[in-house]
């Protein structure tokens, strides 16, 4: 009996020692690791809310979706791959060994992207601000301008237009919430660099959902913080808070990184942000949502092919999610395009995966005025692709037309 008790006592002591060791190890764990564990659990707990593996960075399987093209347009989801020229799409497909999901959209055309600066001879290429303004307002402007014409006069943005018809509006990107492309959808400023001022205007414009990075422009600005409070926004900073949002949270500003969310696998993923935005915006009256793959351009400008391809993986993953959702929600027009090409990407004849490397960049990381692809699916999607070549201002005009046709009355 004593021998049995002795064995039991020894076992208890060992277990106690292990528990103490584990407690000590856990208590000294790195904060980021702890946060990551919490986030991973939140993803698992919310698997029913996000119907795809949004925290895994990999090529999504190619699929073609059967979207209803005849329904009137209730919702528009505009997806912009920043700097995503046609050749980076081809390069991605070479490495993947299959087509990207976005390539399965049957309606396609090419788009010119030049800005007023290029037209007047002040620049060799457009920037994201001028291009976003053209896509949003239907007007050319100078590089660096947000939602204003060449004389600095305010232009009606696509978010303002959608709101005038009673639609909800949302912006999702991986750079600052107030970076050039999302800003061009909602704000007005003669300089894209006036980030705190632009962010305040975006908040004051009552966009329902804004997700991205750039938390420094909230944390370092009392005026921005006051605007958030005055306009009744919920301010969130991590994936757990994101996944806990409900349709009752009418206005939300989510800033998930102090600076740029430049890692493709940084949580929350682009797909997670997109899926939650759609969930919150979906309503009887419809919505407009812009989703940007922001850092395709960033890594092309650094002539970093591996990182660029990771950004393409993440963006195509989000396209896949959106098309799945649109297939189940007739009346949704999905447009996938780019604001401009970056990097002057060129591919050799009959390229193999090993040929897709940094040597494919030919413009020293600069933007180019190469025409970009526009791919569309869903409600009234054939109309925007009737011509073989359109201008980026035509995107704004077409979105207004189809929304007017279905919402005005």
Catalytic residues: 128
DSSP assigned state of 149:
-
173: its two tokens = 């990107």
Question: Which residues lie across from 252 on neighbouring strands?
Answer: 209, 234
According to DSSP, the β-strands at 75-81 and 209-213 are: unpaired
Omega before 173 cis (within 30°)? no
CA 213/CA 284 separation, integer angstroms = 30
> CA-CA-CA-CA torsion for 85, 90, 95, 99, nearest 10 degrees?
120
Q: Which residues contact 87 (CB under 8 A, 6 or more apart)?
A: 341, 345, 346, 347, 360
Tell me how far CA of residue 198 lies from CA of 180, 182, 281, 290, in angstroms. 10, 10, 23, 17
Token readout for 29 is: 């764990």
Dist. CA 222–CA 226, nearest whole Å: 6
Nearest Cα to Cα of residue 182 among 280, 254, 80? 80
237 three-state secondary structure: coil
| Conformational region of residue 229, where left means phi above 0, alpha means psi within -120 to 50, and beta covers everything else | alpha
Tokens describing residue 326: 């649109």
- What span, in angstroms and rounded, lies between the C-alpha atoms of 135 and 295? 19
Are 356 and 347 contacting, i.e. CB atoms less than 8 angstroms apart? yes
């Amino acid at each position: 009996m004593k021998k049995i008790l002795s064995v039991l006592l020894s076992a208890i002591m060992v277990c106690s020692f292990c528990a103490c060791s584990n407690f000590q190890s856990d208590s000294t764990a790195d904060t980021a690791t702890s946060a990551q564990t919490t986030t991973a659990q939140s993803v698992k707990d919310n698997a029913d809310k996000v119907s795809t593996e949004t925290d895994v960075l990999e090529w999504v399987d190619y699929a073609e979706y059967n979207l209803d093209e005849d329904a009137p347009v209730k919702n528009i989801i505009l997806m912009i791959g920043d700097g995503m020229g046609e050749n980076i799409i081809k390069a991605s497909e070479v490495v993947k060994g299959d087509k990207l999901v976005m390539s399965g959209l049957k309606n396609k055309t090419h788009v010119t992207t030049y800005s007023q600066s290029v037209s007047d001879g002040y620049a060799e290429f457009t920037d994201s601000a001028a291009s976003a303004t053209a896509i949003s307002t239907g007007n050319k402007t100078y590089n660096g301008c947000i939602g204003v014409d060449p004389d600095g006069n305010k232009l009606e943005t696509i978010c303002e237009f959608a709101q005038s018809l009673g639609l909800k509006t949302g912006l999702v990107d991986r750079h600052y919430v107030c970076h050039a492309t999302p800003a061009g959808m909602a704000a007005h400023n003669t300089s894209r660099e006036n980030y705190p001022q632009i962010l305040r205007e975006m908040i004051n414009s009552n966009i329902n959902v804004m997700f991205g990075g750039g938390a420094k422009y909230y944390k370092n600005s009392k005026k921005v913080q006051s605007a958030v409070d005055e306009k009744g926004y919920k301010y969130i900073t991590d994936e757990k808070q994101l996944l806990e949002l409900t349709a009752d949270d009418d206005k939300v500003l989510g800033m998930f990184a102090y600076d740029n969310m430049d890692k493709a696998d940084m949580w929350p993923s682009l797909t997670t942000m997109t899926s939650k935005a759609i969930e919150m915006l979906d309503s009887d009256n419809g919505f407009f949502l812009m989703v940007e793959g922001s850092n395709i351009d960033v890594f092309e400008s650094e002539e970093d092919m591996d990182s660029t391809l990771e950004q393409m993986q993440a963006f195509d993953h989000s396209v896949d999610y959106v098309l799945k959702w649109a297939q189940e929600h007739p009346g949704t027009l999905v447009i996938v395009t780019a604001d401009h090409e970056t990097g002057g990407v060129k591919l050799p004849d009959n390229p193999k995966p090993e040929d897709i490397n940094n040597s494919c960049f030919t413009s020293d990381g600069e933007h180019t005025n190469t025409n970009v692809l526009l791919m569309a699916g869903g409600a009234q999607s054939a109309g925007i692709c009737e011509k073989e070549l359109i201008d980026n201002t035509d995107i704004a005009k077409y979105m207004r037309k189809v929304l007017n046709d279905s919402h005005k009355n």
